[in-house]
Amino acid sequence: MEYKFSERVLSLKPSAIREIFKYAADPTYISLSAGNPAPEAFPAKQLGEISAKLMAENPILALQYSTTEGYVPLREHLKDYMKKTHNVGRDFDDLIVTSGAQQIMDLFTKSILNEGETVLCEAPSFIGSLNDFRSYRAKLVGIPMDTDGMNMEALEKALQTERNVKFIYTIPNFQNPSGITMSLEKRRRLYELAKQYGVMILEDNPYGDLRYEGEPLPTIKSFDEDGIVLYAGSFSKVISPGMRVGYAIGPKPVLAKMTVCKQGQDVHTNIWSQVVCYRFMTEYDFDAHLEGLRAIYTKKRALLLDLMEKNLAPHITWDPFNGGLFAWCHLPKGVDMMAFVQKALEKKVCVVPGTAFLTSENEPCDAFRINFSTPTDEQLTKGIELLGETIREMI
């Protein structure tokens, strides 16, 4: 049979990261390409205790259908927690629990974007979100990144010249893939520009709790007195990505449409996962857990920085990253990035080509992404040494 796919998905291509994962799944390869939490970061014992107690005392709660908006105790706790810790949430806002933050990208885009309308995003940006926007046939316009976040002059020019701009997508904390954090000045400017030009902001913050250096900055959503910011939060990097629990905080009319769209996708987010997340936050010391995560990743980040200084510098440089899970590395002029990635693969080291994170993979790019959370210290050491060998062979 000849399969005729919808025009909406004809132009979609497999994620370059997923293609790299084909090699990364081979135990003989060193994967610096993933974005997974460190195995030692999972609170497996506590989650097991919660699950056992839940199944013993109230199994039907975890096994029966639930409401699309999410488990009420979790929703109410998150509203209170985000208001107290991040000043997020106003009277005009609501909260919906989703199947990971990725579903927020899909539900939000589906709810407000028409085919051909424009999304302004950081260049580079998270490939999962870019592909979601592409699936709704958005026009993607990349805004260059400075070392302190999106270039505001380029953003304003795009707002002035691009037609039908619907929203601005940003990952302001330890951005994926660049690791860059947007400055406070730029966060305020971004909000003012969005307000001035009448567009929404989609603020994606999966890494905000994973800061290893410096002082936390306020979320863009914390400035929102006009109902123009949708905040995307997630438990994937702080409890478990496999549980697929995220949450969106935003204007009630927008979340109402997203809820209707969600009903047609999955009815509701896994209720067992929601209950477990709620009880982990309320029955255990969640702040201490976050401190434990930061301790794990602070050590791994320090190891990576030391290894890169010894093996990659001065030929390969990298953007500053004070948190998150990634390093964004730049090759010297004259070195072909894809050839470098392929040569590294031949040495059985996987990194992600930078073109995977651009609005068009045909754009020139000198960068690649390294993940330091997933590999063991031994794998990270060997992998960076091999990348050093690779660049020295190519210059």
In 3-state terms, what secondary structure has residue 316? coil
Query: In 89-248, which ranges are continuous DSSP H helix?
Result: 101-112, 127-135, 152-161, 184-197
Query: What is the rounded CA–CA span in Å between residue 49 and residue 52?
Result: 5
**CATH number of this structure's domain 7-43+288-394:** 3.90.1150.10
Which residues are within 8 A (CB) of 192 and not within 5 positions of it... i.e. 6 or more apart?
Answer: none
CB 108 within 8 A of CB 202: yes
Domain 58-283 has CATH 3.40.980.10: no
Averaged in consecutive runs of 10 residues, what is the pLDDT profile of the chain (395 residues)? 81 64 80 93 98 97 97 98 97 98 98 97 96 96 97 98 97 97 98 98 97 97 98 98 98 98 96 98 98 98 98 96 97 94 95 93 91 97 98 93
pLDDT of residue 368: 97
Give the pair of three-digit tokens for residue 113: 């974007």
CB atoms within 10 A of CB 317: 15
Give the pair of three-digit tokens for residue 222: 């914390």
Give the pair of three-digit tokens for residue 240: 């478990």
Please report, for the chain, the start and end positions of each structural domain, with discontinuous segments joined by +. Answer: 7-43+288-394, 58-283
Counting Cα atoms < 13 Å in the Cβ hemisphere of 242 gives 6
pLDDT of residue 380: 98
In 3-state terms, what secondary structure has residue 286? helix
Q: What is the pTM of this model?
A: 0.95
pLDDT of residue 19: 65
